[in-house]
Homo-oligomer: A and B are copies of this chain.
């Protein structure tokens, strides 16, 4: 395949593995990159030294391009960026913050910069900051998300209407079918999160992976909108959040309730009761743990078959 995104990243398939906290270390990222997609290390759950180790191991395990995702609200951002520049990471995805602060700095080191957005306003800001491409993340996506609640189906054509940059669709995409639909809507590539969380090489705890495979529709929710909106599983911790709302908790009280380390507790340590379990709506379509290479292969194969059959529609 050969389009704006495969050229920009120098990859075979326009499939980006989302950079996710506690799930996407060097094992997952290198496996995806070795399969022809773009593997992305999620720096959000890593201290700078840990990030450096993951970058080095990723490079040892793949000769293909890979990327690092950096949430810009993190207190480690400056250190993360230092490590990324020193280690000569070729591609950086920035999210959850102002892209104008880091984009030109990274580009001055010949790093390709992609920014994650979920509305037109931030898409325009990212364009002004000079990013090379955008991830457009719909309401159905797992983890942190936008306040407008715009879905993938509405977001992709809307951003496409306003912006002339390569677009990567995110949210609700786990199959070749969804990949083709996203490309039809105007995307140049897809970012797949949830399905890679249940990849064999994902560092998500096995309890969390099995929980994901058991989910039905309606089992995730976008909540904690007063803080940073996040889509997660409606588990016992979520019930505490619901109670907090019923009891009119202030924002500070919500921050206290969330506390620190809850995503780690759930996603990495496997505490399904008290952990925060971030995952996308598309989890209800998943039914197996597979190697990343099989995931990429299945998506591409389904995509190609559907594309060739589309004239029958």
Contacts and interface: CB of A to CB of B under 8 A. Distances in A.
A82 interface: no
A298 B154 CA distance: 18
A184 B281 contact: no
Contacts of A154: 140, 172, 217, 281-282, 284-285
Contacts of A177: 157, 184-186
Task: Give the number of copies in the complex.
Answer: 2
Contact of A158 (B147, B217, B306): B217
Interface in A154-179: 154-155, 157-158, 161, 171-173, 175, 177-178
Contacts of A285: 154, 157-158, 161
B157 A138 contact: no
Interface size, A (range): 35 or more
A281 B313 contact: no
A307 interface: yes
A183 B120 contact: no
B183 A313 contact: yes
Interface of A: 3, 119-120, 138-140, 147-155, 157-158, 161, 171-173, 175, 177-178, 180-186, 216-218, 221-222, 248, 281-282, 284-285, 306-308, 310-311, 313
